[in-house]
Amino acid sequence: MDVKVTVEVDGKVVLQDVKQVSGTLEQMEEAIDAMTRQAAGAALQGSVDAVAPPRPLFRKTAVHCDTRDTKHGP
Annotated domain spans of the chain: 2-50
Three-state secondary structure call for residue 5: strand
Q: What percent of the chain has pLDDT over 90?
A: 51
At residue 54, the pLDDT reads: 79
Residue 59 has pLDDT above 90, yes or no: no
User: pLDDT tens for residues 7-30?
Assistant: 998 899 999 999 999 999 999 999
In 3-state terms the chain splits into helix, strand, coil percentages (rounded to 5) of 35, 25, 40
CB 39 within 8 A of CB 15: yes
Residue type, 12: K
pLDDT in tens, 43-55: 999 888 888 777 6
In contact, 7 and 13? CB cutoff 8 Å: yes
3-state secondary structure at position 62: coil
